[in-house]
Structure 1
Amino acid sequence: MSLYAKCWLFTTWFLILFFSFPFWISFLEQRFGPTGVLIGGGFWLSHGIFMMLVFRCPNCGLTPFRSSKDFMAWYYPWPRKICGHCGRDHRAVEDRSAR
């Protein structure tokens, strides 16, 4: 599976969490009180951090959700098809036999 496809699968999961946020955060609040809201918010925000740190370009290490390695770079909620730093096509399937 390509890096681009993996990123889109995770983005889909992140959007499901985003749109279902009012339902599960209210459940956590009823179940655990104010601590449940903090736990739920931390869980949701950790997905954004996970998205930026785990998915990396194999050539240069730039996340597909970031525009470039410059100091002033943009993060996007959807992955880029082409790496903003080295130009690698993230849609290409990785060859596991080459490792």
Structure 2
Amino acid sequence: MAGLYLYDDSWFEGERRVYTYTNESIGFSDRASALENNDWSAWVVYDDRNFQDRRYCIRGWETVNVLGAPQWKFNDKISSVKRLNSRSCAGYPTFY
């Protein structure tokens, strides 16, 4: 299924939550330790419930195995997600 996959353990282990075609505050708040974008569109993940504060963009078909890596320090931080209407991260900071 196309969408953004959030996992509660690094390396895509543990419970998984899928988000598709919506912009929403997430019920998986502050639990994600890995990300997988199985969508052609880019997604933005935020550490605030209201699409505020620190954020990163993940392009289509990218993965982030360990959100707690020193360069991001984003483990257990994601509280809202937004699907962009393009493949581009359009000025948002990216993981890679």
Range into which the TM-score falls when normalised by the shorter chain: under 0.3
Q: TM-score, normalised by structure 1?
A: 0.24
Compare CA radii of gyration and give the structure with the larger one. Answer: 1
Q: TM-score, normalised by structure 2?
A: 0.25
Which of the pair is proportionally richer in strand? 2
